[in-house]
Structure 1
Amino acid sequence: MDRRDFLQKTTAGALALSFPTVPDFLADKRMGIVVHSYWSRWNSKVDSKKYPAFTNAIELLDHCHQLGAGGVQVIVNGWSTDFAKKVRDEREKLGLYLEGSIGLPKKAEDMPKFEQDVANAREAGAQVLRTVCSTGRRYETYHSPEAFEDLKKSALTSLQLAEPVLRRHKVKLGIENHKDWLAPDLVNLLKQVNSEWIGVTLDFGNSMALLEDPMQVVQTLAPYVFSTHVKDMAVEEYPNGFLLSEVPMGKGMLDLPKMVELCRKHNPVGTFSLEMITRDPLEIPCLTNAYWETFRAMPAPELARMLRTVREHTYSGGLPRVSQLTPEAKLALEEENIVACLNYSKEKLGMK
């Protein structure tokens, strides 16, 4: 039995013990907030008195605490040791969890910075980090099967470089399904790495962009889950395929209670972090030849199922769009959506 098989077969108590320590706040199931939920407000250039920009992790922590969130997942990049200690002090004062979002090393020369970022995140109190293996969406960034195979090879190299650092600092790393990996491919990558320190940041909606059934994705990846991006999704037809949007929880098509239940079953000490990105819908051009350039075969049943799903789930009034709004109105809607999701998480997901 390898490490991955062991982790999948452990009891809930043993899984909790697989973390170096299990802080008291992990028993608190309040919904946290991913920094990307503040798509407009994070480092905003808008001069707004009501919605001033967040420029660092401490400001984000303070605001999310005011909203009643349980914690934050925030970018860790080039922090000083002194700043990491300030983040730790603020986090401890507020009683919030902290997760980092971090880039992977691509080559040996990247290792000193990567290790320093991991050490600073750990100093600040993060026991779980989130990362991605691809900087862009699969169907926009890669244009041949060979190009995507190169991504797979470079991702494996990066994770093999990262693993000893994670093990040394006792920090877990979750790879996000970031509109790049099909769920079975991500599982295969984890099995190749075969480390108790590397698992999944499970995004509830991203994989719809690759025509995967969202519940099946959760079922496939939940045994490896370290952290989450919780969101609800809505769809709409357009000539080249379909449009995909995050929408306030409870207004979309995902079975969020069941998804949360599955994640808790496999990792009872895991966190749930909201990623509600308020923006125009994304175009998923699955009826174009370019969309399929990285696939060696077109999975006709998956395409037919997704198109049928799109037609069966019309979003009342059409998907929300924000490009026509003033900057202040965008900031206001972003905050409104985040608060609505936090309220839903308390009322429907048991995240008090």
Structure 2
Amino acid sequence: MKAYEKVLDQKSAGGPSRREFLQKAGVGALALSMPFPAMPVFLKDVPMGVVVHSYAARWNSKTDSKKYPPMTDAIQLMEHCASIGAGGVQTVVRGWTSDFAKKARDRREKLGLYLEGSIGLPKKAEDVADFEKEVIASKEAGVSILRTVCLGTRRYESLHSQSDFDEYTKNSLAWVRLAEPIVRKHKMKLAIENHKDWMAPELVDFVKTIGSEWVGVTVDFGNSIALMEDPMNVVETLAPYAFSTHVKDMGVMEYEKGFLLSEVPLGTGICDLKKMVDVCKKHNPNIRFNLEMITRDPLEIPCLTDEYWNVFEGVSGKYLANTLSMVKEKTSQTPLPTVAGLTAEQRLAFEEENNLSCLKYSASNLNIR
């Protein structure tokens, strides 16, 4: 990872330590420095929320379904999630007007839900004004945490060399540095997800390079398996910097180029969810737990190919050995979920079944209720 570290060499002298980050952005400072909405968000035992991607099939669906009608905005998503017992939602904030934000705030307050946003980063100076409009609208709706990603795709699919990754790192730093003054100005937390792009230590270094109490992490429980990282190690590494979460369980199986990776209903996969939740609570007792159960075909992780390794310069082969050993030991004894061959209505039903199953498991087994 030496080339990556060279890109981030500005950080080491001035970036905050983990202790300094926690002192600035931890629970105590959080309560003192942020005008959180007056709602039951930070009470104990808030039920698990739902990420909009858990409804990938139903969100803006073109299927004419009476049982699973399309959801097209945050208000509809909140209404449905409240009806199935969720504690809140995390959803996209793009295009929100002030009028819609006020309606969303009123509906959220009546439903008693929390609301987190998902926002894109400004890529150039001309984008900052629009980014700020989205931040303002989000805050007006009652959002205090904005999840974001630096790479919307996957590292091993979109980047093809270590120099590509170094350029991506340089660009990401520029994008977040455009966003940081805005979220700081409006006292909003910006939480960068480990989105099959950053390995956990890289993301910690990245956040420390930014050096802002307003920039932290959305810790995804399962994504980084695709980068050959142990999911428990990922949570333990990122939790001290986490403002938000994506909770998921994962199933794995071997295939000729590496392994298959799939979101599975909570409690049926390889993740130690109870311990992961406890680790997150330890570092931030008020963190929200957002379900991201994406109902789709398994992802192919081609970790036995040269193309995959081209963007992992300096990463020890022990990551590959440990991952393949884990896959062999914990390979799913039943077929991984798939939507291939399902009708549109069947896919909608399968998606809802998975989400309901996860919320039930969360309340019964994770003490999130």
Shorter-chain TM-score: which interval?
over 0.9
Amino acid at match of 1:137: R
Q: Which amino acid aligns with 1:25?
A: V
* CA RMSD in angstroms, aligned pairs only: 1.6
Please say if residues 207 and 213 of structure 1, whose CA atoms lie closer than 8 Å, have aligned partners that are also in contact: yes
Q: Does 2:269 correspond to 1:252?
A: yes
- Relative to the length of structure 2, the TM-score reads 0.92
Structure 2 partner of 1:330: 347
In structure 2, the residue corresponding to 1:253 is in which secondary structure?
coil
Matched position secondary structure for 1:25: coil
Deviations 1:17-58 (A, max 9, x none): 255045532214210000000010000111111001101000
Secondary structure of the 1:63 match is helix
The alignment status of 1:216 with 2:230, answered yes or no, reads no
- Corresponding residue for residue 200 of structure 1: 217
Does the CA contact (< 8 Å) of 2:57 and 2:348 recur in 1?
A: yes
Note the C-alpha offset of 1:15: 4.7
Contact 2:25 2:213 in 1 (8 A): no
- Describe the SS at the equivalent of 1:26: coil
* Alpha-carbon distance change, 293 to 334 in structure 1, aligned in 2, over 3 angstroms: same
**Structure 1 residue 286 corresponds to structure 2 residue 300:** no
Report if the CA contact (8 A) 2:16-2:208 is conserved.
no
SS in 2 for 1:33: strand
Kindly report which structure 2 residues correspond to 1:104-253, keeping only aligned pairs within 5 A, or say none. Answer: 104-253=121-270
Aligned to 1:20: 34
Helix, strand or coil for the counterpart of 1:337? helix
What is the distance in 2 between the residues matched to 1:242 and 1:224?
A: 29
Residues 16 and 267 of structure 1 are in contact (CA less than 8 Å); yes or no, is this contact kept in structure 2? Answer: no
1:101-128 CA distance string (max 9 Å, x none): 0000011000110000000000000000
One-letter identity of the residue aligned with 2:121: L
Residue type of the alignment partner of 2:334: G
2 CA distance for matches of 1:175 and 1:143?
A: 22
**Counterpart residue number, 2:362:** 345
- 1:38 aligned to 2:55? yes
Question: What is the count of residue pairs matched by the alignment?
Answer: 352
Q: CA deviation at 1:8?
A: 2.6
Measured after TM superposition, the shift of residue 6 of structure 1 is: 2.3
Q: Is the 8 A contact 2:27 2:284 kept in 1?
A: no
Seq. identity, %: 57
Aligned AA (1:81) = S
Stretches of structure 1 that go unaligned for 5 or more consecutive residues are none
Task: Please give the alpha-carbon distance, in whole angstroms, between the structure 2 residues aligned to 1:44 and 1:77.
Answer: 18
Distance in 2 (alpha carbons) for counterparts of 1:15 and 1:329: 47
Alignment of 1:73-88 (within 5 A): 73-88=90-105
SS at match of 2:288: coil
Offset, 1:292: 1.0
- SS where residue 42 of structure 2 aligns? helix
- Letter of the 1:113 counterpart: D
Structure 1 CA distance for aligned equivalents of residues 17 and 238 of structure 2:
16
**Which shifted more, 311-320 or 23-32?**
23-32
Indicate if the aligned counterparts of 2:297 and 2:340 stay in contact, CA closer than 8 A: yes
Separation in structure 2 between the aligned mates of residue 266 and residue 7 of structure 1, nearest angstrom: 12
Cα contact 2:18–2:240 (8 A) shared by 1: no
Gapped runs of 5+ residues in structure 2?
1-14
- TM-score for both structures, normalised by structure 1: 0.97
Give the C-alpha shift of residue 135 in structure 1: 1.9
User: How many Å separate the matches in 1 of 2:161 and 2:130?
Assistant: 32
